[in-house]
Amino acid sequence: MAEMMKVMLVDNESARSALLAQALADHGYKVVARVQPGPNLLAMVARYMPDMVVIDTDSPDRDILESMSLLNEHNPLPVVMFADEDNETVIQEAIRSGVSGYIVRDVDKERVKSVMNVAVARFREYQALKNELKVTQNELEESRLIDKAKRLLMKQKGATEAHAYESIRKMSMETNKPMGEVAKNIISVLEL
Amino acid sequence: MLNTIEKSQLMIGFIPLTDSAPLIIAQEEGFFADEGLEVTLSREVSWSNIRDKLMFGALDAAHMLAPMLLASSQGVGSVKKPLVTAYSFGLNGNAISVSNQIYAELEKLEPQLIMQPQATAVAMKKLVEQRKQQGDAPLRLAVVFPFSMHHYLLRFWLNSAGIDVDNDIQILVVPPPSVVQALEEDLIDGYCVGEPWNSHALEKGVGVPLISGYDIWNNAPEKVLGVRSQWAEANPQTHAALIRALYRASEWISQPQNRDEVIEYLTAPEYIGAPKNSIMNAFAGKLMSPDGTQVREVKRFTLPFRYQANFPWQSHAVWIVEQMQACGQLNEEMDAQAIAEQSYLTDFYRDTVQALGVKLPDSNYKVEGQHAEPWSMDGIDLAEDMFYCGASDS
């Protein structure tokens, strides 16, 4: 079997938590910890390094988990939560949005696996999208820097545009650094 | 007027904090009913929940962190869904508290800190440097959400003394009701949060409120009434009725003779459910050293109504967007003013409230960081708007 997905359960209802832990284990997930909600959640995540956290939507600690991937990009965690059954539309929309998955409050063993699978798949999609966005942003930033460096070279060294671009590219190859970084260095020197 | 309302039954979410008072008062004192609105107030446990429920239509409107509304509208930290606001839940209300141990160390570096807010950031800088030299871990400071005024005010204050927040401070999120416990268990060294959680730390003897949000930015925005842009377009009369009810509730709250009743309502378990003492502290706005030798009264610790406190200034939104850009949450290329104009329906607020016979500013913007005293714009009184130690805007 492929590497097991490590799950941390955050729940103060131990009966429900035990039931869910069993259901997850039956379906090939590794439950690394069952913890009580509280402000030390961050430390718990750091200790157990789960791939996924299951938490009740009624827990205020949800904000802690949400912030984790926002404040610390190296620790992306899909979050699956319990929600009230009568909020089915909320659940559907949320799952479609790909940010989180939801499990109805009364844990049905059979449904756990499919819900978890959907959540994981959606989470990966979301992460991929986020990374893609980042790449695009970086590319934008890079071309902005190159442009600026080019203009500075043209203005201060009397180079033509083609020549300026060529010298940035050459420096990039020689120093084995990305063009954006070379451009940044040029800007910092020429702007003095 | 009643028959023009598109939707009369509304579900509105709130977080149990003192600034949710206008919703509670509008409900209890009948301002919603006067407008033909049948409102159910839904007490929520987390900002993430409030945001998701509003976005997915489980709530019609919500008490929301102003920065969260702007972030969600841009798809930052959540699904992208345009949210708008045309009402602000008053101004100010936050403070920064530190643990007893950190407070003692700061007092050694700069004495009489409670009395001199301008010295606090410098003292923090000295402490950060001292800790670095000793090889101590960075200070751990909590905020209530990554997209919150608490986060940006804290950063603004630290930055003002040249502290490198990204490298020398660890910022983390702890929900308001948990901050005091987190401080007690030494999971954090301090936090920026709304009342009553600052006074509460002092009362329990685990921490000291060092400086108020007012000291960092005089009369800063805080929470707004968020609705989906689509909802606002589909229900303009309902939206206007909501704003009128909240405006009247805010006015009612600001009247001194109603103070006791406001506190009584807020204390109820279905609303805030905090002890009366803590809620009274939130209105008193006093900072105090643990030994009681230093006491400083913050003149507008919270500002619920006066000085156009409910006016959704687009200049407030611009400032927030700029902070988001400065700390890397939002692309720097984005046009802050365009974002502010999309999300802050200032014209709608003006049209709605002026119809009540109230004179409001014609402009959607005001210059921030220029007025050390209350001033007048077209004959309308506005409060001071200085930044910490006279720092300039942006």
User: Considering only CA atoms, which of B249, B211, B275, B331 is closest in space to residue B34?
Assistant: B249
User: Considering only CA atoms, which of B208, B181, B206 is closest in space to residue A61?
Assistant: B181
Share of chain B above pLDDT 90, in %: 78
Residues in chain A with CB shorter than 8 Å from the CB of B77 are 66, 70
A184 SS3 class = helix
Give the tens place of pLDDT for each residue, A121-178: 655 666 666 667 777 778 888 888 999 999 999 988 888 888 999 989 898 888 888 8
For residue B88, count other CB atoms closer than 10 A to its CB: 24
CA pair distance B312, B306, nearest whole angstrom: 14
Residues 95-134 of B with CB under 8 A from A: none
Q: How many Cα neighbours within 13 Å face the side chain of B157?
A: 30
Residues in chain B with CB shorter than 8 Å from the CB of A59 are 45-46
The answer to whether B278 and B180 are in contact (CB under 8 A) is no
Chain B touched by A131 (CB under 8 Å): no
What value does the mean pLDDT take over residues A8-24?
76
Asked whether the beta carbons of residue B58 and residue A60 sit closer than 8 angstroms, the reply is no
The answer to whether B177 and B94 are in contact (CB under 8 A) is no
Q: What is the CATH number of domain B94-216?
A: 3.40.190.10
Helix (H) or strand (E) holding B48: helix B47-55
Structure tokens at B233: 């377009």
- The residue behind tokens 């992306």 is A76
User: Considering only CA atoms, which of B103, B101, B52 is closest in space to residue B289?
Assistant: B103
What value does the mean pLDDT take over residues A80-84?
58
| Structure ipTM over 0.95, yes or no | no
Asked whether the beta carbons of residue B45 and residue A58 sit closer than 8 angstroms, the reply is yes
Chain A touched by B363 (CB under 8 Å): no
CB nearest to A62's CB, from B46, B171, B172: B46
Residues with Cβ within 8 Å of residue A71, at least 6 apart in sequence: B146, B171, B172, B173
Predicted model pTM: 0.81
Q: Which residue of chain B comes nearest to A82, CA vs CA? A: B49
CA pair distance B360, B323, nearest whole angstrom: 27
Asked whether the beta carbons of residue A39 and residue B188 sit closer than 8 angstroms, the reply is yes
* The pLDDT of residue A89: 57
Rounded to a whole number of angstroms, the CA Rg of chain A reads 24
CA pair distance B94, B140, nearest whole angstrom: 18
User: Considering only CA atoms, which of B73, B77, B78 is closest in space to residue B229?
Assistant: B73
Residues with Cβ within 8 Å of residue B217, at least 6 apart in sequence: B153, B156, B368, B385, B386, B387, B388
CB nearest to A97's CB, from B79, B174, B331: B79
Q: Looking at chain B, which residues constitute the CATH 3.40.190.10 domain(s)?
A: 2-92+220-272+302-390, 94-216
CA pair distance A71, A81, nearest whole angstrom: 21
CA pair distance B374, B134, nearest whole angstrom: 45
- The residue behind tokens 């039931």 is A19
Taking the C-alpha atoms of B378, B379, B382 and B387 in order, what is their torsion angle to the nearest 10 degrees? 50
B226 SS3 class = strand
* The pLDDT of residue A138: 80
User: Considering only CA atoms, which of A81, A89, A43 is closest in space to residue A62?
Assistant: A81
Tell me: pLDDT of B11 over 90: yes
Q: How far is CA B52 from the centre of its chain?
A: 20
User: Considering only CA atoms, which of B146, B150, B173 is closest in space to residue B76?
Assistant: B146
Nearest 5 degrees, angle CA B390-CA B343-CA B95?
40
* The pLDDT of residue A158: 86
A117 SS3 class = helix
Mean pLDDT, chain B, integer: 93
Tell me: pLDDT of B373 over 60: yes
The answer to whether A83 and A59 are in contact (CB under 8 A) is no
CA pair distance B263, B132, nearest whole angstrom: 45
User: Considering only CA atoms, which of A56, A66, A2, A63 is closest in space to residue A34?
Assistant: A56
Residues 188-227 of B with CB under 8 A from A: 188
Domains and CATH numbers, chain A: 6-107 (3.40.50.2300), 134-190 (1.10.10.10)
Top CATH class, B2-92+220-272+302-390: alpha beta
Residues with Cβ within 8 Å of residue B51, at least 6 apart in sequence: B62, B64, B68, B72, B78
* The pLDDT of residue A128: 67
Lowest mean per-residue pLDDT among A68-82, B131-145, B275-289, B374-388:
A68-82
Residues in chain A with CB shorter than 8 Å from the CB of B144 are 63
* The pLDDT of residue A4: 75
Lowest mean per-residue pLDDT among A138-147, B5-14, B345-354, B367-376:
A138-147
